[in-house]
Amino acid sequence: MKLKTSTKTVSIAASALIALGVLAGCSAGATGQTDATADSAAASEEASTPTSSDVLASTPWETTGATDASGADVPLDDENVSMFVGWAYFDDDGTFAMYNLDDTPKMQGDWTVTPDGATRHIVAKDDAGEVLFERDSDIVTLTEDEFTYRVFPDPENTEVYFDIIHTPTEHEEPAA
């Protein structure tokens, strides 16, 4: 089959090829912009993704449960967990206050969470700011809906532990 071509047809075809080339060049530029915009959006999202510290400080927490190493529920008045029961308030400035469920003061001091979100460190202080004790607790769960940390009655025996479960609360921090 023989094709009949004219100068006009060749000219249209050449114009179409040039237009496609221009569009391809624009698309590459647009893709570059889109990639940059996507990178910027990803960086912005990453920057706005709350850290473990942000999550812990985002709400007051109430102890609502405890489980043992086998996952069985443990009553909150059990001697292994009762000292961990109450209201907890972690402030953005790295200070905390904890109260018993009857709103009596339990402890206060400073807190941090490791960058990987695996451990919470508290430094309990008396009213004069003197350190009473320090404690690291393994974080089992830390989301907007739950904060659970692990305690070991005997730090040398990690097979026996209790997970202390907290959930967000609307409870106002008691007046000092």
* Separation of alpha carbons 65 and 164, rounded Å: 6
Tally the residues of the chain: 176
Q: Is residue 36 left, alpha or beta, with left meaning phi > 0 and alpha meaning psi from -120 to 50?
A: alpha
pLDDT in single tens digits along all 176 residues of the chain: 444 444 444 344 444 444 444 444 444 444 444 454 455 555 555 567 899 999 999 999 999 999 999 999 999 999 999 999 999 999 999 999 999 999 999 999 999 999 999 999 999 999 999 999 999 999 999 999 999 999 999 999 999 999 999 999 999 999 86
> Collapsing DSSP states into helix, strand and coil, what is residue 157?
coil
Are 98 and 106 in contact by the 8 Å Cβ rule? The answer is yes
pLDDT in tens, 88-124: 999 999 999 999 999 999 999 999 999 999 999 999 9
The reported pTM is: 0.73
Are 32 and 129 in contact by the 8 Å Cβ rule? The answer is no
Are 109 and 124 in contact by the 8 Å Cβ rule? The answer is yes
Using the structure block, give the residue that is written with the tokens 């569009």.
Answer: 23
Query: What's the maximum distance between 2 C-alpha atoms anywhere in the chain?
Result: 100
